[in-house]
């Protein structure tokens, strides 16, 4: 086994976690969440996205949120930019990293960003070039790397194909995303192996939605390959508007508990993270989606 000794987590809660929320979440609450995440030790936070407000109304306050967060020099703040229009809007807010997001399945690409995989790469290429010219890091999210809500199972070759296209336009690192949480360890491993044909182990991260309760097992499968970058969402918030029924990312609290239990460092203070989760769950008026947070809160009494 090739287990890493430390792991870096991007909390995607403010973006992936909240994008699908039907009730309006004020910018002030999103800013409060980002603050609590960085106070808990998160060193990478996905803050918002610059997408069409008609498609994803919850992210329409991107400028306000980015302007309101108190930036810590040790933290990387990333944002989603699907095209040049989004990038031009984002750049005004000086993100540390932008994320272009494609899919390994054609149908999901169409539903999510209204274009084919090939067209998406054409749209991303000038975004990547402009970002890199300004010294902004570039990440590529790859959706549906094991399963697609419209096409079913996705072959690893499709993941490898997308990873190669991303690499070809200058994307620096990629997320292997299980958008609908149907992945199981061997399939997730195959998706990573296909990606590793194009990117090094330090340039790949796991992004697992926990719809079917497989995300921690999939995290372990990726760890065993040597993957040490993961994305998760505080309280297990979220879902994608274009993946019906898919629930949130694996809860950051659950990933941190597992890693610390395995002796793998994250730099995250679990108690403060649980407080961050309570803050947002309290606002949303629902219980935490994290098993670990629930257990710890029950013990706190």
Contact between 16 and Mg ion (CB under 5 A)? yes
Catalytic residue among 115, 144, 148, 240: 240
Residue 58's binding partner out of Mg ion, ligand HMG, none, with CB under 5 to 8 Å set by partner kind: none
Residues 6+ apart with CB under 8 A from 63: 89, 92, 93
> Which of the residues 63 through 82 are near ligand HMG (CB under 6 A)?
80, 82
Q: Site for ligand HMG (CB under 6 A): which residue of 38, 48, 143, 288?
A: 143
Radius of gyration for the chain, computed over Cα atoms and rounded to the nearest angstrom? 17
> Which of the residues 90 through 119 are near ligand HMG (CB under 6 A)?
101, 112-114
Q: Residues 46-65 vs ligand HMG: string with x where CB under 6 A?
A: ---xxxx--xx---------
3-state secondary structure of 50: coil
Whole-number minimum distance, CB 145 to Mg ion, in Å? Answer: 11
Question: Apex CA 116: angle with CA 195 and CA 249, to 5°?
Answer: 55
d(CA 273, CA 276): 5
Whole-number minimum distance, CB 295 to ligand HMG, in Å? Answer: 26
Cβ atoms within 10 Å, residue 91: 17
Contact between 177 and ligand HMG (CB under 6 A)? yes
Contact between 159 and ligand HMG (CB under 6 A)? no
In degrees and rounded to multiples of 5, residue 162 shows phi and psi of -65, -40
Alpha helices in 9-61 (DSSP H): 27-39
Residues 6+ apart with CB under 8 A from 194: 156, 157, 159, 160, 163
Active site residue 240: yes
Whole-number minimum distance, CB 46 to ligand HMG, in Å? Answer: 8
Residues 6+ apart with CB under 8 A from 43: 8, 74, 75, 76, 267
d(CA 120, CA 99): 13
Q: Which is nearer to ligand HMG, 19 or 219 (CB)?
A: 19
Residue 247's binding partner out of Mg ion, ligand HMG, none, with CB under 5 to 8 Å set by partner kind: none
Residue 55's binding partner out of Mg ion, ligand HMG, none, with CB under 5 to 8 Å set by partner kind: ligand HMG
Catalog residues that contact ligand HMG under the rule CB under 6 A: 16, 19, 49-52, 55-56, 80, 82-83, 85-86, 101, 112-114, 141, 143, 177, 179, 207, 209, 240-242
Give the residue numbers annotated as catalytic, written as ranges: 240
């Amino acid at each position: 086994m090739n287990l890493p000794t430390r792991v870096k987590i991007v909390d995607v809660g403010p973006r992936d976690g909240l994008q699908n929320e039907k009730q309006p979440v004020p910018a002030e609450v999103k800013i409060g969440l980002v603050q609590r995440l960085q106070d808990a030790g998160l060193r990478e936070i996905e803050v918002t996205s610059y997408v069409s407000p008609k498609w994803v109304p919850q992210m329409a306050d991107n400028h306000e949120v980015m302007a309101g967060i108190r930036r810590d020099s040790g933290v990387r703040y990333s944002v989603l930019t699907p095209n040049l229009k989004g990038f031009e809007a984002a750049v005004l807010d000086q993100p540390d990293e932008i994320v272009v997001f494609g899919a390994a399945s054609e149908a999901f690409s169409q539903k999510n960003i209204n274009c084919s995989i090939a067209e998406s790469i054409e749209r991303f290429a000038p975004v990547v070039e402009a970002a890199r010219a300004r010294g902004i890091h570039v990440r590529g999210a790859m959706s549906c790397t094991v399963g697609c809500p419209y096409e079913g199972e996705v072959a690893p070759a499709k993941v490898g194909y997308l990873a190669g296209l991303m690499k070809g336009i200058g994307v620096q690192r990629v997320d292997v995303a299980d958008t609908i949480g149907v992945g199981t360890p061997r399939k997730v491993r195959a998706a990573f192996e296909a990606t590793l044909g194009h990117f090094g182990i330090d340039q790949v991260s796991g992004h697992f939605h926990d719809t079917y309760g497989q995300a921690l097992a999939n995290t372990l499968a990726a760890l065993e390959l040597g993957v040490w970058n993961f994305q998760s969402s505080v309280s297990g918030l979220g879902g994608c508007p274009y993946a019906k029924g898919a629930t949130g990312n694996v809860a950051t609290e659950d990933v941190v508990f597992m890693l610390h239990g395995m002796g793998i460092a994250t730099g995250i203070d679990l108690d403060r993270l649980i407080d961050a989760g309570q803050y947002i769950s309290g606002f949303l008026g629902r219980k935490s989606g994290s098993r670990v947070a629930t257990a710890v809160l029950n013990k706190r009494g």
